[in-house]
């Protein structure tokens, strides 16, 4: 049996893990509430912008704000939104597995957001063309991402989707389909009472330029929403991982405390037996 002091030191270390995981669990809970609010605000603003755009767009295709004669890279850009570090459960590992099922180095180029994803790609021996840190603040500047996305004929986003506090899933969507899907949802929520057209509005310099500007705004909102959704799922996954780690640590600390008491009691019993054996020996020698 181990010495009581060794067990006590190990128990103290585990208690420190309990305190740390509890703090991270609380922090994750606060971030979840804050991020969910950002997602709701972003969705509302998207609906408002889409309601204007759908009335003045020149065709049914979403052109990402590109010029008519703009040449595109004939490859599909795969965009991965991952965590900035560890302690987020297995969610990034699941995202990488789904990405690898799709990835073909002859047909795809890769843009990764988040250091943890970049590290996982290197471990999988996959090279990426573009890398960005995951934004930490409330404001997300996605203009550098938009400049890259507009260069490619197709773009697909891999991201973590928040379902509930205990459940998050990995999704991959074509960016143009995602915009159209969000637009259909917005169409159901908005009714054009005040129609926007060239009959009652003046567009400067023309409706094509205004439509392109709105496409840029919609693309910016869509990418921001994906990042907010991913951040929300990452924080929820971290909350779940920290909760599980805290429970395991509490169980381990309880077991160590029980082992410490048993070891200490055993040590006392051993010393008592040795004392009694010594006393008997002394009495036996005295009687002789």
pLDDT, tens digit (0-9, with 9 covering 90-100), for 3-31: 777 877 887 887 787 777 777 667 666 66
For all residues of the chain together, what is the average pLDDT?
78
pLDDT of 252 strictly over 60: yes
Cβ neighbours of residue 267 closer than 8 Å, sequence gap 6 or more? 3, 4
pLDDT, tens digit (0-9, with 9 covering 90-100), for 146-168: 889 888 988 999 988 887 777 78
pLDDT band at 77 (very low <50, low <70, confident <90, very high): very high
Please report, for the chain, the start and end positions of each structural domain, with discontinuous segments joined by +.
4-20+243-282, 29-238
DSSP secondary structure letters along the chain: ---HHHHHHHHHHHHHHHHHHHHHHHHHHHHHHHHHHHHHHHHHHHHHHHHHHHHH-SSSS--TT--TT---EEEEEEEEE--SSS-STTHHHHHHHHHHHH--TTTEEEEEESHHHHHHHHHTT---SEEEPPP-SS----HHHHHHHTTEEEEEEEEEEEEETTEEEEEEEEHHHHHHHHHHHHHHH---SS--STTT---SS-HHHHHHHHHHHHHHHHHHHHHHHHHHHHHHHHHHHHHHHHHHHHHHHHHHHHHHHHHHHHHHHHHHHHHHHHHHHHHHHHH-
The pLDDT, as a whole number, for residue 175 is: 82
Residue that wins the pLDDT comparison between 99 and 44: 99
| pTM score | 0.67
pLDDT, tens digit (0-9, with 9 covering 90-100), for 182-241: 656 555 555 455 556 566 666 666 666 777 777 777 788 888 888 888 888 888 877 777
The pLDDT, as a whole number, for residue 63 is: 66
The pLDDT, as a whole number, for residue 130 is: 96
Does the domain at 29-238 match CATH 1.25.40.10? Answer given as no
Angle, alpha carbons 55-185-31 (nearest 5°) = 120
Separation CA 222–CA 228 (nearest Å): 10
Mean pLDDT in residue range 105-115: 93
CA distances from 83 to 89, 102, 184, 202 (A): 10, 20, 30, 45
Separation CA 80–CA 96 (nearest Å): 8
The pLDDT, as a whole number, for residue 89 is: 64
Least confident segment among 48-57, 158-167, 186-195, 272-281:
186-195
The encoded tokens of residue 109 equal: 């180029």
CA distances from 137 to 36, 134, 197, 231, 266 (A): 14, 9, 37, 11, 55
Separation CA 107–CA 89 (nearest Å): 31
On whether the CB atoms of residues 172 and 94 are closer than 8 A, the answer is no
Least confident segment among 139-153, 173-187, 209-223, 265-279:
173-187
The pLDDT, as a whole number, for residue 199 is: 60
Residue that wins the pLDDT comparison between 92 and 18: 92
Least confident segment among 115-119, 124-128, 208-212, 214-218:
208-212
The pLDDT, as a whole number, for residue 191 is: 47
Percent of the chain with pLDDT over 70: 71
On whether the CB atoms of residues 102 and 78 are closer than 8 A, the answer is yes
């Amino acid at each position: 049996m181990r010495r009581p002091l060794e067990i006590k030191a190990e128990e103290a270390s585990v208690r420190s893990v309990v305190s740390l995981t509890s703090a991270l669990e609380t922090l994750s809970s606060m971030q979840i509430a804050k991020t969910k609010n950002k997602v709701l605000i972003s969705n509302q603003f998207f609906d408002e912008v889409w309601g204007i755009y759908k009335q003045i767009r020149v065709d049914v295709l979403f052109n990402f704000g590109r010029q008519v004669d703009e040449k595109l890279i004939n490859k599909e850009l795969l965009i991965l939104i991952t965590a900035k570090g560890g302690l987020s459960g297995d969610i990034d590992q699941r995202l990488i597995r789904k990405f690898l099922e799709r990835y073909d180095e002859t047909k795809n180029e890769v843009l990764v957001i988040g250091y943890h994803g970049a590290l996982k790609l290197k471990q999988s021996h996959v090279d990426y063309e573009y890398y960005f840190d995951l934004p930490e603040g409330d404001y997300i500047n996605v203009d550098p991402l938009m400049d890259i996305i507009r260069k490619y004929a197709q773009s697909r986003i891999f991201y973590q989707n928040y379902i509930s506090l205990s459940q998050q899933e990995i999704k991959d969507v074509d960016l143009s389909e995602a915009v159209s899907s969000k637009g259909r949802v917005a169409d159901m929520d908005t009714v054009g009472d005040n129609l926007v057209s060239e009959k009652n509005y003046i567009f400067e310099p023309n409706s094509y330029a205004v439509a392109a500007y709105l496409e840029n705004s919609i693309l910016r909102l869509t990418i921001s929403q994906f990042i907010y959704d991913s951040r929300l799922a990452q924080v929820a996954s971290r909350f779940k991982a920290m909760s599980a780690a805290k429970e395991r640590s509490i169980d381990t600390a309880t077991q160590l405390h029980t082992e410490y008491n048993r070891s200490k009691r055993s040590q006392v019993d051993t010393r008592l037996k040795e004392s009694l054996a010594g006393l008997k020996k002394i009495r036996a020698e005295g009687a002789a």
